[in-house]
Amino acid sequence: MTAESHFLAFDPAQDFKLLFLAFVLPLVGYVIQIAAGKRLPRQGDWLLTSGLFATASITVLMFAKSLWAAYHGLEFRHHSGDEAGLWFHWFYSSDELANGVANVSAAIFYDPLGAAMLMVVGVVSFCVHLFSIGYMHGTPRYHIFFANISLFTFAMLGLVLSDNLLFLFIFWELMGLMSYLLIGHFSHDPSSGYFHKWATKACKKAFLTTRVGDTCLLVGMVIFFWKFETFRFTELWRLSIEELARHQSLHPGEYPLWMTVGGLFIFGGTIGKSAQFPLHIWLPDAMAGPTPVSAMIHAATMVAAGVFLLGRCYPMFTPDVLNVIAAVGTITAIFAATIGTTAYDLKAVLAWSTISQLGFMVAAIGLGGVVAGLFHMVTHAFFKACLFLSAGSVIHGCHHEQDMRNMGGVRKHMPITFACMLASTIAIAGIPFFSGFYSKDMIILRAWENILGGRFTGASFFAAVGLPLAAACTAFYMFRMIFMTFSDSYRPGTVESPFAHHGGGHDDHGHADHGHADHGHADHGHADHGHADHGHSHAHAAPAHAHAASAHGHDAHGHDAHGHDAHGHDAHGHDAHGHDSHAEHATPHESPLPILVALCILAFLGVFGGHFWLADPLHSLKFWEHAHTWFETSVSFQSLYGAQIGDRLAAAVAVDEHAAHQAHTVALCVSLAVASLGILVAWLIYGRGWERSQRIAGRITHAIHAIYEVVKGKYFVDEALGTAIVVDMKRKDEPRYEPDASVIGASVHVANFLGWIDRHVVDATVNLVGRIGMSFGKGSATFDRVVIDGAVNGVGLFTQTFGSLVRLFQSGRVQQYATFAVFGGLALAVWLILL
């Protein structure tokens, strides 16, 4: 079997076209959906989902090709421009289209990292589309939602495939826009109550916060373009390595300052997009968007783009930049993990978990573990998407309740969702043989290798201690979530929560459910009204409606369940269920089929996504001797950046065998210890019944009251930055924004002060200079008038005077002329004779 003829061998003539097809299908779908989506049957969801199925199939096929190449030890770095002449010339000024300085051309760059990431994006996007069919059914602007997630998928695919920094940035910005639109999906839907107000603010916050990072990325890009005059990754890598080597030979032990600055600016883009401290503030609020959006954009793909960027730009970072990256990543990992332990909102737990895991990836890349960080990005994408979708399924089943205190016992009602969520939780907690274990273990291993291998830096030490701590917190809060949500028995209405927007618990939104029912199901309006009226009058029968939490909650849920189950009834054809709900209308129900299919696919990948790749299964049955994860087999420094650059980069982080062996042992023990510790503590506190957990948790929070308040307040970063979102359902008009006592407030004061300086110092100086200039001009004008003009006029006057004098001699009279001649001759004669 030759390498060329095999059907899994990469064929430049065909496969770039396939990749391009996978890339544009979502865009085509978007255009059709925007133009005609509302008039299509089922509002076009089948169209986009099947398009995405094609895209996902292509990406999986291509990914298989990359694995096949890795398995056979072939190089797998393909560039459509170099190999198949497929270029997109945007604008250019010279004939040498590919390499001219001012030429902007793009092509498809497909390497093992791109293959893995593209597969992740394709599969997760497909699952999310499938999930959305069930989850978003019957909501307003259904077709717009599908159009937007489809265009987002297009942008993400483009980002992964682009061969240069500029096009990566373009797609990066497009993703930012789609993120904004999708977080704000509910801001066009007044019937969504709490989410309506929250999403309106959250989408702006997300957009503006990431804008800070994006500006940094733009500056970083321009700095590198200014020096290297190219945007192509392969060129940037080569030139950066050469520049570093050149600088090292001139000044040993130092690195070019401009590269450090440029690298930090590029990392600024990651801080914004991947929600690293201190720009993480937008991600928890991005949960205001629909749950499929949270799963796809704010967990699996878009936020991972920042990590992908770091992977793409790794050779351009100086060691100083890498230390900063490692430190920021570790801070984020611990910081977000601790906050995750205090959150009650199901999606908020997952949001903080996402930030924390992104911190792991960023820290890994900062420590030189590019493969580990990117591997975690891939495994995390699967299990976190699965977690979010499961959470969405739970929320869907619990009638839009998100507060975990109002859940409990959901396992009995939603067994499939429970199984998927448990599998992904085990994966993220880091239990062996589940994908998260391999990647997280590799990251911790990287930190310990740095220390034991003699490359001891502050960032390494910080990461080696901090990351296991964060991993312990991760295991704890994930199992806390599982226990709170799924164990014991169902307890709706334990606390008041703003999420159940159909409940009508809030004063001025008491009738929102009517609007929603009418709006969503115009043709079933009659039935809905019947139920709603019933619940409504019931609710009003309780006078302490707004304050008596449990009674209110119960009423609200009863009420909600009517509206909701009627909705489920017509939406999914769950007849039996809809009727059951008359008897026990508050119980959760299992989600419809599309949701469960999507969950199962992702759960399968979440469990097996990190598994061993047998180096040579045919010839060696002792696979443990050659065992590597599939990602390590296909992605390495050499396969990412080419053999030459890769060898140099690998040598920079290599450690001797003894240290590596030691680090392996340490990392394995640490990983296992922290994971089991976290799970054990979670079981001790939350695993033994709801009542007991409340007692224990109450005692603990009382004992560490001050710390608990700070952590629960998210370390008050939002307050310090002045970006906290307060959703006040009682107010019709939004409160005026008062930024005092925060970074934004301080910025305003500083700006005012600088404005004063500008007016009174800078302007005064400018005016003074102006006045001096004016006086000098006046003096100069006088000089010009008197001296220069005087000289010119003087010459004229002299000539005139002399002329009129001389004119007297020219009388025209011959005798006078003769007289002059004679006396002249006489004078000459006298002069000659006498002298």
Partner 1 sequence: MGLGAYIAVSAALFALGIVAILVRRNVLYVLMGIEMILNAANINFVAFNRFNHAEGSQSNLDGRMFAIFVIILAAAEAAVALAIVLNVFHLFNSVKPAEADLLRE
Q: Give residues in contact with partner 1 (CB under 8 A).
A: 810-815, 817-819, 822
Residue-by-residue DSSP string for 602-613: HHHHHHHTT-EE
DSSP lists the bridge partners of residue 110 as 78
Give the nearer residue to partner 1 in terms of CB position, either 2 or 810. 810
Query: Which residue has tokens 């979670």?
Result: 682
**Matching residue, tokens 């939406």:** 571
Within the chain, how many helices (H) and strands (E) appear? 35, 6
State how far the Cα of 499 lies from the Cα of 197, in Å rounded to an integer. Answer: 12
CA–CA separation, 462 and 465 (whole Å): 5
Task: State in angstroms the smallest separation of the CB of 819 from partner 1.
Answer: 5
Minimum gap (Å) between residue 807 Cβ and partner 1: 9
Nearer to partner 1, 90 or 817 (CB): 817
802: Cα within 13 Å, side-chain hemisphere: 6
β-pairing, 88-91 vs 104-106, is antiparallel
CB of 802 to partner 1, least distance (A): 18
CB 448 within 8 A of CB 652: no
| Residue 136, C-beta contacts closer than 8 angstroms, at least 6 positions apart | 142, 145, 290, 292
Count of Cβ atoms closer than 10 Å to residue 215 Cβ: 14
In the complex with partner 1, which residue's Cβ is closer, 769 or 818?
818
Nearest CA among 166, 368, 353 for reference residue 269: 166
Minimum CB separation of residue 816 from partner 1 in Å reads: 9
Q: At closest approach, how far in Å is the CB of 811 from partner 1?
A: 6
Instruction: Provide, rounded to whole angstroms, the least separation between the CB of residue 827 and partner 1.
Output: 15
Angle between helices 657-686 and 435-452 (to 10 degrees): 130
**Residue whose tokens read 């599309």:** 594
* Closest to 607 (Cα-Cα) out of 422, 759, 820: 422
Q: Smallest distance, Å, CB 805 to partner 1? A: 16
Measured from the CB atom, is 245 or 826 closer to partner 1?
A: 826
Decide whether 737 or 809 has the Cβ nearer to partner 1: 809
The residue among 741 and 821 lying less far from partner 1, judged by its C-beta, is 821
The minimum distance between CB 833 and partner 1, in angstroms, equals 15
HEC string for 117-138: HHHHHHHHHHHHHHHHHHHCCC
Residue 365 CA to residue 323 CA, distance in Å, equals: 10
**In the chain, what is the greatest distance between 2 CA atoms, to the nearest angstrom?**
156
Secondary structure of residue 342 in the 3-state scheme: coil
User: Given the complex with partner 1, which of 747 and 816 has the nearer CB atom?
Assistant: 816
CB of 832 to partner 1, least distance (A): 17
Contact 314, 372 (CB under 8 A): no
CB closer to partner 1 out of 576 and 808: 808
CA nearest to 363, candidates 254, 277, 266: 277
Rounded CA separation 352/329 (Å): 14
Shortest distance in whole angstroms from residue 814 CB to partner 1: 5
Question: For residues 773 and 825, which CB has a smaller minimum distance to partner 1 in the complex?
Answer: 825
Q: Which two tokens stand for residue 150?
A: 């489809």
Minimum distance from residue 809 beta carbon to partner 1 (Å):
10
d(CA 48, CA 37): 10
* Reduced DSSP (H G I as helix, E B as strand, rest coil) percent helix, strand, coil of the chain, to 5: 75, 5, 20
Pick from 348, 84, 303, 71: nearest CA to 209: 303
CB 831 to partner 1: min, Å: 19
Q: How far is the CB of 775 from partner 1 (least distance, A)?
A: 55
Judged by beta carbon, residue 35 or residue 821, the one nearer partner 1 is: 821
The smaller minimum CB distance to partner 1, of residues 706 and 805, is found at 805
Specify the DSSP class assigned to residue 7. Answer: T
Burial of 826 per CB tally in 10 Å (0-12, 13-18, 19+):
exposed
In this complex, which beta carbon is closest to partner 1, that of residue 805 or of residue 814?
814
If the CB atoms of residues 257 and 818 are measured against partner 1, the closer one turns out to be 818
Q: Which sign does the torsion angle of CA 574, 579, 583, 586 carry?
A: positive
Residue 622 or 813: which CB sits closer to partner 1? 813
**Phi, psi torsion values for 492, nearest 5 degrees:** -65, 150
CB of 835 to partner 1, least distance (A): 22
